[in-house]
Structure 1
Amino acid sequence: MTVLGTGAMGAGVAGSLLREGHEVTVWNRSRERALPLGDQGATVADDPGTAVADAEVVLLTLFDTDAVVDVLEQSAGEAPATAVWVQCSTVGVDGTETIVQIAAKYGITLVEAMMLGTKAPAEQGKLTMLAAGPAEVLDRVDPVLDAIGAKTVRAGDRVGEGTALKLAANAWIASITAATGQSLAIAKGLGIDPELFLQAIEGSASDSAYAHTKGKSMLSGEYPAQFALDGLRKDIGLITEAARSAGVSTTLLDALGRVYADASTAGHGDDDIAAVGTAF
């Protein structure tokens, strides 16, 4: 088992695989970020080609399309022909098509399993995996997905359908997080304790566990990163492009892009997405 990319999500995924008894090799562009996984029992490779040399399954947990393409170009010919490559990076519709084309160029067996969740679920093996690809290939990687996720939703048999579902889900995450910040700001601005907003929705049809999790962070003014704000900004851009190309209105997405950009400009790009509340 190989994990290429050990940022917040990749490190959590690798840790979950190790905890479930899998033999894991990891690689990261900044090697020092992968070294703690070596202490947990993983093999830390010096380059992606070496990392995939004996892999049955390769997980791509990288930041963007350029990173995935670069790693594929470096390592595709080094893996066993029987290896299954699982694209887990959020790269949007066009990025996914680029990766599909490169996989075809090198004869790679490719499926995707988008990760719905943040740092803590990744570390706990409680992600929701949004998978797509030929059913018989997904069957082969189910034990891997079970080790890193609480459930798997199969979006379709074509790589790209998992991406489509991830974009829709992240639009929801971006919206409810920003909406929570707005409601807390309105309550405070009108002279009442903003925590009363969270009490008001608790247990109602409009309640959301996410509103409480992110709302508590907003109220405390502390934003330890579970999902970095600039990472979600990148995703909002991908979602906006996809929506526009599909003929879906981007009115709300455009507003979300501005709000998250304001928080980033104020210095919160590396903080958790809850820091979007500062924009209000």
Structure 2
Amino acid sequence: MTSAADAVPQRPAVAVLGTGIMGSGMARSLLRAGLDVRVWNRTHARAVPLAADGATVADTAAEAVRGAAVVLTVLNDSTAVAAALTAASDGLHRGQVLLQCSTVGPAATADLAQRAADLGLVYLDAPVSGTRQPAEQGTLTVFVSGPSAARAVTGPVLDAIGQRTVWAGEEPGAASRLKLVVNTWVINMVGGVAECLNLAEGLGVDPRTFLDVMKGGPLDSAYLQGKSAAVLSGDLTPSFALSTALKDTLLILEAAEHSGVRLDLTEASAARFARAEEAGHGGEDMIATYYAGRPPEKDGG
């Protein structure tokens, strides 16, 4: 490993490990900001399209991170993040900043922070709030906790991927705890949209009438209208996949149990997500939780 004493570049090279829905969007936002972006994905073919946007597509994680000032991980869970760090270890250098953007929960954050320390990395706990479109547009909200000394090198990166950065504290874990609170609101909100559409269908109410009644009023929201439109059009292209929403919901429930908090709505949301996933909707947008509550098909005879 090389020394940490290198001067901080004004426009740091960034390695993005994980080019799924969020990682690809964030990589494009970094490229639009003029940063040197290297990308790697375990399934190589998923990273290749980013070459057309100007990214360097690496064959290995070690190749992607070698010489980068910031390593950004955007993966599904803590197991995937740990595996990526192991794969990248030969290319890492002491003092590199690890901007860990995956939602993994407080317990796994502590484990990953220790793994990063063992590798000589500066660990920033940095989960993001937003879905496909904000990732593509660079308008995510990024929650960050970790050493404030890392702000200089990460500033251009955070400015490129987000419209707002919320510094939650100096210790890893504070940002992950805040992210779980935010996700609790989102998860239960999407369940509320789905259940209203389910009840409308069950009672023979045109859901468009319900949406028109809500439109422009104090309880209306772009989220209600947008997610409802996705269900009514049948276009469930994932902005945030249902299986990922289930994973995050289970992290919330785990954290709640450890803190002695009871979350009845979130438990119900988890059950709905699980039923929809079992029915084959895991890869669709999280509003596919709608399918967990539809009334049974009536006999045609």
Q: TM-score, normalised by structure 2?
A: 0.89
Spell out, residue by residue over 1:92-139, the C-alpha distance to the aligned partner (whole angstroms, 9 max, x if none): 121111101111212211112211111111111111111111222134
**Partners of 1:112 and 1:245 in 2: CA distance:** 20
2:193 to 156, 173, 180: 180
Deviation at residue 61 of structure 1 after TM alignment: 0.7
Which residue is 1:100 aligned to? 113
| Contact 2:95 2:120 survives alignment (8 Å) | no
Q: Which range moved further: 21-30 or 37-46? A: 37-46
Which residue is 2:264 aligned to? 251
Which residue is 1:54 aligned to? 67
| Pairing 1:28–2:41 present | yes
How does 1:102-251 map onto structure 2 within 5 Å? 102-251=115-264
**Partners of 2:37 and 2:143 in 1: CA distance:** 22
| Contact 1:76 1:108 survives alignment (8 Å) | no
**Partners of 2:80 and 2:205 in 1: CA distance:** 47
Spell out, residue by residue over 1:182-223, the C-alpha distance to the aligned partner (whole angstroms, 9 max, x if none): 112222322221122222222333222211111111222220
> 3-state DSSP class of the match of 2:236?
coil
Structure 1 stretches of at least 4 aligned residues deviating more than 3 Å after TM superposition: none
| Contact 2:26 2:161 survives alignment (8 Å) | yes
Quick one: which amino acid aligns to residue 79 of structure 2? D
| Contact 2:16 2:39 survives alignment (8 Å) | yes
Deviation at residue 168 of structure 1 after TM alignment: 1.1
Deviation at residue 77 of structure 1 after TM alignment: 4.7
Spell out, residue by residue over 1:244-264, the C-alpha distance to the aligned partner (whole angstroms, 9 max, x if none): 101110322211111111111
Quick one: which amino acid aligns to residue 190 of structure 2? T
Deviation at residue 233 of structure 1 after TM alignment: 0.5
Spell out, residue by residue over 1:219-239, the C-alpha distance to the aligned partner (whole angstroms, 9 max, x if none): 222201111100101111111
Spell out, residue by residue over 1:253-277, the C-alpha distance to the aligned partner (whole angstroms, 9 max, x if none): 2111111111111111100011111
> 3-state DSSP class of the match of 2:127?
strand
**Partners of 1:142 and 1:196 in 2: CA distance:** 46
**Partners of 1:190 and 1:63 in 2: CA distance:** 38
**Partners of 1:78 and 1:235 in 2: CA distance:** 30
**Partners of 2:55 and 2:43 in 1: CA distance:** 16
Structure number with larger C-alpha Rg = 2
**Partners of 1:49 and 1:160 in 2: CA distance:** 26
**Partners of 1:45 and 1:185 in 2: CA distance:** 46
**Partners of 2:87 and 2:199 in 1: CA distance:** 51
Deviation at residue 74 of structure 1 after TM alignment: 2.7
**Partners of 1:33 and 1:80 in 2: CA distance:** 26
Structure 2 alignment gaps of length 5 or more: 1-13, 294-301
> 3-state DSSP class of the match of 1:6?
coil
The sequence identity of aligned pairs, in percent, is 44
Q: TM-score, normalised by structure 1?
A: 0.96
CA RMSD of aligned residues (A): 1.3
> 3-state DSSP class of the match of 2:39?
strand
| Contact 1:111 1:138 survives alignment (8 Å) | no
Structure 1 alignment gaps of length 5 or more: none
> 3-state DSSP class of the match of 2:68?
coil
